[in-house]
Amino acid sequence: MEANVIDMKGKKIDTVDLPGEIFNAPVNLDTMHQAFVRQLAHQRLGRHSTKGRSEVSGGGRKPWRQKGTGRARQGSIRAAQWVGGGKIFTPKPRSYGKKMPKKMRHAALRSAITIKHSSEDMFIVDEFSLKEPKTRMMAEVLEKITGGQNCLIIYPKRDENYEFLVRAIKNLPKANILLADYLNIRDLLGHEKVILVKSGLDRISEILLRE
């Protein structure tokens, strides 16, 4: 299958052959949802913690003798029923991570890419570079390509130009840039438009077609 290749002014300059296994893949919404939930779960820190009876300070002796006082028997002033005592069934640091096979994660990404491409929300740019890291220049380029809509730029590798793009884009609230190696379901689905640099096709194919 073919797709148009545009320049930074939004004009068609060429066509490119796209791997059908990625850009015309079967769309599995359940797998996409599972991958999306998994990614959100991995972002939860899980650092909440409270102290149990054995962790609070004090309470080293029995408050009063077992019998003869007329009061209920107590073993420690740091038991849960006392003010300042430990808590019962307390939350502890934990991981919220969910396991998902790599084949399923890749299938979810292929489904998301297929949806973006079939809905014409993905643009393939021949070259994406700036002479200097200027936010104004970046805004003008994105306006010509996406019409100012929320967009994600997928760049092939980290180089000097990538650093320029990062600096130019960081003050634009409707744009983000991502290396092809870190392609993920949340960023793909979380942006209205996707700009893929042509040279990143090989890297994406290498990742998503690898078993």
pLDDT tens digits along 46-69: 999 999 998 999 888 999 999 999
Mean pLDDT within 155-159: 92
| d(C-alpha 18, C-alpha 23), whole Å | 7
Q: How confident is the model at residue 41, as a pLDDT?
A: 95
Q: Is the pLDDT of residue 211 over 70?
A: no
| Distances, alpha carbon 210 to alpha carbons 88, 105, 156, in Å | 48, 12, 17
pTM higher than the cut 0.75: yes
Q: How confident is the model at residue 64, as a pLDDT?
A: 94
Across the chain, mean pLDDT equals 92
Q: How confident is the model at residue 2, as a pLDDT?
A: 87
Domains recognised in the chain with CATH numbers: 2-45+99-208 (3.40.1370.10), 50-90 (no CATH)
Mean pLDDT within 162-184: 93
Q: How confident is the model at residue 165, as a pLDDT?
A: 93
Mean pLDDT within 188-193: 94
Number of H helices, E strands in the chain: 7, 6
Q: How confident is the model at residue 51, as a pLDDT?
A: 93
| d(C-alpha 114, C-alpha 62), whole Å | 68
| d(C-alpha 125, C-alpha 127), whole Å | 6
